Every structure is written in structure tokens, then in C-alpha cells.
Amino acid sequence: MIFEFQPDKLVYGGEALGHQAGRTVLARGVLPGERAEVEDIRTAKGVVHARALRILEPAPERVAPPCPYFGRCGGCQYQHFGNELQVTAKQEILRETLRRLGRINWTGEISVHTSPPWNYRNRAELKVAATPGGEAALGFFETESNRLCPVDACLILSPRLNELLGQLRHPEWSSRLSGISEIEILADDRDERAMLTFRGILSPRDGERLAREALAQLPGAISVGMDDGRRLTVVGEAALPYRVGGFTYRVSARSFFQVSRFLLPELVEAVTAETSGAVAMDLFAGVGLFTLPLARHFGQVIAVEADPRAARDLAANARAHALENVRAVTETVSDFLRRCAQAEADVVVLDPPREGVGINNLKQLLVLRPQRLAYVSCNPPTLARDLGFLVNQGYTLNSLELFDFFPHTYHIESLAKLSRLVKNSIGMSC
């Protein structure tokens, strides 16, 4: 159905919210203050999801999206208004989400760390699909779909990633990609060296040949993996070195690493600055992005990471920097907290995936009675739920920061710092 729509506000997820004929509508590509003709795509839980067909009355802040794939490619949602306004909208969305889902009325400042708006991604997951002519096309999935949107270049990828995309989509390379469904590329902090992982079904011999050719021929490639879903075979370097602040981290294929390159030193500084004490915990630690700097300021750092590959990188990173006070624990956070209910920590850093830490884990964590918490979140709704619980349990939210890691997308990365007034004097080491 096609109908006219005037949204009230932007909400988390990239859509604009409004009402039409008594129904709640979420539409893509429309701004508050605009009048648009939209078409419904689907209805879920009583909410109509729609997309803009025509803007009948544009808002003054509307700009022409610079990317020719905008609206079709699923990567960006916000190229139709400027970056400064995007940041203001994200601040409001974060504030509103905390109020609505966490019952937290944060009236203080949300300080913002802004990134250069283009060429910021250091990691790309290029999708590969066969064209009707039988050749391989590269790009990203369309919005809410598994259909390929082939792209020549992407404005938010780093120059090295775009260069590699350009080479891979050239017939000389794309003709070798049958059987490959995805190519993941991580470029280093200088945007020079790169680690590539080809995913798909190839015979071990063909897979290894492809990996060796990529290593020899693709610019900056120092490590190339072939991942068939069961086994990962790597040729060249075993991992990519990535420097942030005073530390060089080894990052293996499949280990988590942050994907926005410009604000990483600022994030690490904000999480770890002005903290010191006997014990810090870094939960959901990855390859140790926060663990290593924390280890300079604490007697001991316990770093918990469930993924064995990332946990191995973490332990190697601590060893390479001679940080003997790091204990790398390969375990899920819930198993660790259940097992170590009597451990003591002055500061706990939490950087969970989108699902958040979760109330059960937080209940276990509070048995440790940590005095200060630094919660890094990539998902405001789960952050709101978790902060709501912590505030109910006697923690004070002291500061809220927004790291605009992903300009032109709806994604919101934030850091919340909390403290409790009374420190528990009883505690045992785990």
C-alpha cells in the first residue's frame, strides 16, 4: 500500500517513527519534518515498516546522498542528511532509549567523539555472488535482504580496502572466485597491510592455490586465510599486527577487532584513563584492546574472552608486551562469574556483543561489588536494560560518551561510566 507519511522523530535502527490512520509506522529514507509518499514493506508486531518512494516536502537539512548505492545497499542509512545532524540525532536516540527502556533520565551531557565521516572502516565483509552470466560480482547485501548489491567502491571503506575491492572485482580476479561467498578484509592501523579471509567451498588444493595467489598478487596482503566453515587454512603471516596507542596487537583471522579506525586511540584512552588499583577485570576482552593499557595501571588484570582464537591472541599480546600481570581466561563471562563469585575487582570493563551483558551476568557480577564500571556498548537498547538494572542496584551513572564510529549509519557506540558509593571490604582473589 502507498500512503503519505510525516514522521515525528528518528529512532534506533535507521528508521523514522510516526503515525498514520492510527497505526505506528517506521519508514526508511524520510526525515522528521518531511512529507513523503511511502510504501509499506511488511507489518511486524502491529508496526508498519515502510520505505520512501517520493519526498513531497523535503526538510531543510536534506542533502543529496553522495553514494550512488544509497537506499539500495544495506550498509548506510543516513546519507540523506549531514554528519553533524546525524550525531545530534544519535545523542537524542541514546538519551531517549535510556529513558524508555532503562528508566534512566540522563539530563547530563553526552560528550561526542567524532570521526572523519568517510573512509573510516578498516574491515569489510565483501559478499560474492554469481551473475546471470556466470561471473562473480562483489558488493554488500541490500537492506534487509540476502540479495547482492554489487559495488565498484564504497565511500566508508578505507582506501586500502577500496583498492582491494577494485582488484578483486576485476575479471582477472573475479573469474577465480567461483565457490567463494564472502571475502573478509582487515587493514592495519596505517591502512597498508591487510589480512584477507576467503569463505566458501573449494577443494583444499584450489583453496590453497587461491590463497597463495592472493598473497603474491594483492596489494598489502600479508596473511590470507581459506575458511570452508570447518577449517581455516592460513598462508603468509599467522596474524595482522594492529597498533593502537602504545601497543601493537596481533589479530588472527576470526578474532574480533574493532572495525572503525580513527577513534580507537580515543576510545582506549577514555576507557582506561584515570584508573588504577589492585585488580581490574576486562570482560568480553577480545584480543586485549583494553587489557594491555589496564595492565600498566593495575596490579592484576583478569581478561575474559570466550572465543579461543581471540583469547590466544590476547595471551600472546600480553606476553609480547611483557605484561605478566595479565591473566587471560578462555571462558564465557557467565561461566567465569559463576566460578569466581568471590573475586574482587576495583574496576570492571564490560564490552559485550549486541546482546549486552544481560541481567543474570550482572547479578553475578554484583556479588563482586566492583567499585567502578566502564560499559562499552554497540547497542543502545541492551545498554539501557543493563544500566537500568545497575542503577536500581545502587550504581550511579557518572558519564556518558558517544563515539561516532560509524557515520552515515544508524550504529551507536557509547561508553557509560558508573560507580558505587560504598566499596566492599571483603573479597578473595579468584
Q: Is residue 298 close enough to count as binding ligand SAM by CB under 6 A?
A: no
Q: Cβ-count burial of 329 within 10 angstroms (0-12 exposed, 13-18 middle, 19+ buried)?
A: buried
Q: Which three cell numbers stand for residue 337?
A: 562469574
Residue placing its CB nearer to ligand SAM in the complex, 299 or 353: 353
Residue 340 falls in the annotated catalytic set: no
Q: Is the dihedral of CA 175, 180, 181, 184 positive or negative?
A: negative
Subset of 215-274 contacting ligand SAM (CB under 6 A): 256-258
Q: Is residue 290 close enough to count as binding ligand SAM by CB under 6 A?
A: yes
Give least dist CB 9 to ligand SAM, A: 28
Q: Which three cell numbers stand for residue 83?
A: 554528519
Given 188, 351, 401, 404, the residue binding ligand SAM (CB under 6 A):
351
Q: Is residue 286 close enough to count as binding ligand SAM by CB under 6 A?
A: yes
Q: Is residue 140 close enough to count as binding ligand SAM by CB under 6 A?
A: no
Give least dist CB 22 to ligand SAM, A: 40
Q: Is residue 353 close enough to count as binding ligand SAM by CB under 6 A?
A: yes
Subset of 98-117 contacting ligand SAM (CB under 6 A): none
Closest CB to ligand SAM belongs to which residue?
A: 286
Given 284, 298, 405, 406, the residue binding ligand SAM (CB under 6 A):
284
The region of 94-102, 135-143, 278-286, 384-392 touching ligand SAM under the rule CB under 6 A is: 278-286
Subset of 362-401 contacting ligand SAM (CB under 6 A): none
* HSE toward the beta carbon, residue 82, CA cutoff 13 A: 5
Q: Is residue 285 close enough to count as binding ligand SAM by CB under 6 A?
A: yes
| In contact, 246 and 218? CB cutoff 8 Å | no
| In contact, 154 and 124? CB cutoff 8 Å | yes
Give least dist CB 290 to ligand SAM, A: 6
Give least dist CB 308 to ligand SAM, A: 10
CA dihedral 73, 78, 83, 89 (to 10 degrees): -150
Q: Is residue 188 close enough to count as binding ligand SAM by CB under 6 A?
A: no
Q: Is residue 344 close enough to count as binding ligand SAM by CB under 6 A?
A: no
Subset of 6-65 contacting ligand SAM (CB under 6 A): none
Tell me which residue has cell 557467565. 334
Given 332, 381, 391, 399, the residue binding ligand SAM (CB under 6 A):
332
* HSE toward the beta carbon, residue 34, CA cutoff 13 A: 26
Nearest to 356 by CA among 143, 145, 125, 97: 97
Tell which phi-psi region holds residue 25, choosing left (phi > 0), alpha (psi between -120 and 50) or beta. Answer: beta
Q: DSSP per residue over 114-163, as a string?
A: E--SSS-BSEEEEEEEE-TTS-EEEEEEBTTSS-EEE-S--TTB-HHHHH
Residues carrying an active site annotation: 378
Residues near ligand SAM (CB under 6 A): 256-258, 284-286, 289-290, 304-307, 310, 332-333, 351-353
